[in-house]
Chain A
Amino acid sequence: MAIPAELRYTTDHEWARDEGDGTYSVGVTDFAQENLGGVVYVELSAEGTGLAAGGRFGTVESTKSVSEMYAPISGEVVAKNAALDGEPELVNSDPYGAGWMVKIRATASGEFAALMDAAAYEAHVAAGH
């Protein structure tokens, strides 16, 4: 199970990447995609949507279940991954790359740094969460 060192993580198994320009890419982790099973639809908040940290930014339908996804940080959705409309399985095959979901422009400082780092997330998963 991959847990890239450069990303930050939530307890709900979302990841966030600092793009260096005030925006953060967000998706779900390898652990999450494996538990979801085959992803068949991804619904994402529209560009321009304002989100509070912990607010819902999308829904993933898999064969097995439906899961809500929650924003790791507060901000505005400035991009969403349109490729997931036609190829939702990218969430399974490349969760940290082509399976990214939304890009959020942060409106609060310090929230990204407060997320779990890779080591903390690995421990979180190992503890059976």
Chain B
Amino acid sequence: MEVSSQKFNDHVHQAVDDANLKGAMGKLTGALRPNRARAVAGLPEFDDYRDHGIAIKMHTLDHIDRYLEEFETNVVANGGHVHWCADEDSARETILGLCRQYDVKTVTKGKSMVTEELGLNAFLDQHGILPLETDLGEYIIQLRGESPSHIIAPATHLQRHDIAQTFRDAHDHLDPNRPMDTAESLTEEARQELREKYGAADAGITGANFMIAETGSTIIVTNEGNGDLTQTLAKTHIVVASMEKILPTMDDAGVMLRLLARSATGQDMSVYTTLSSGPRRPGDLDGPDSFHVVIVDNGRSTMLAGSEREMLRCLRCSACLNHCPVYASIGGHAYGWVYSGPMGKVLTPSLVGLEQTKDLPNASTFCGKCQEVCPMRIPLPKLMRNLRAKQTEQKITPLKQRVLLALWSSLASRPRFYRFVTGMMTGALARMAGPKRVFTWLPFLGNWVQSRDFVAPEGGSFFDRYRASSSPSSSKGEAHD
């Protein structure tokens, strides 16, 4: 998918004035945050599961080569095939090659963020293969020609009336006056539209929440069952997964599944947890004729060896997005690529480079809520700070900012002189403000005063008052002159 993170500030400028988006983002505070809190409170050992899960992930990353090879061995033993793809080009070509091999004209798709990375839908379309998204949210945004705005709820930027209008436009064979004012009616309509297409598809493409080395299985979790239909009704099942989705054992997956659903939607368990362990065997009631797993690197190996390694623990649960006040203010599209919210601010620069994603690691107050709710306790603020440091080292940070910081630092490293200068400035400001005590406008602070007043300094400095005070301890600080 093309990166548009360079236009982050333009996106933000539009997003903060978008009343409809603001309404849609109410889902975060109204449902997702309280639901997670309830689910976590309902499992007193949640933090123990977190520690256990982190240990599993760290171990797996330390030995990822071994577990990926074990996974391949077991997939092949089950009658499936594994394809290794270093980058997005090779992944796209591999998937296209499989489609050609099986004479595929139509594919149904389960929700998969890595296929968004690959821009797979547009690519297949260009090559005469029709991709059809089956996750309700993905289906909606595919009809609208949009990209996902959230890693598990791709249409979260929309309200119900937007979706109703999208369906009226797209399903023009239906009665134009049908009532569409409930979530149920919308879901039912999408279900009817999608049902007939599952059987007609030649291949089903899904992602994977986990790949299990000891069994050669892939696991997806959904709430709609669309994944099951996608992978069992088509003749060919292609799983596309990024390499860090590997786990050693099924027991490990048990730990992660407990963490994932609670962190994501606040469910104890997702409605469907679906395991795929190869093609249909003699005697199986259903299943595909052929089973392929496309393992995508696309920058992960580099991360594994670098300072963003901890980001590879990410389970894609979306808790950091759901709890992020920046995400809640601007929505997911502003981030300009597949991943958004705090995890996107680290993952996107790591995968596509620092140059075109300058703003992403900077647009955070470091409030720390993301790290607090992350089931894998990924130190997201620290990782963003690391990326800022890399920007500074590589002089990607804007020149104006570097010059201002250098000036400020040379001033602040001389405390007495610093206080002399700030004292002059605050004295002048205090006098200018007078009894109003605020400024509604100030030069050089346009970005502050556009939305709030600048409060006037009280006048004088602490150190002046402290020296003047008759406090018995007042002389002791002077020892350090």
Mutual binders A and B: no
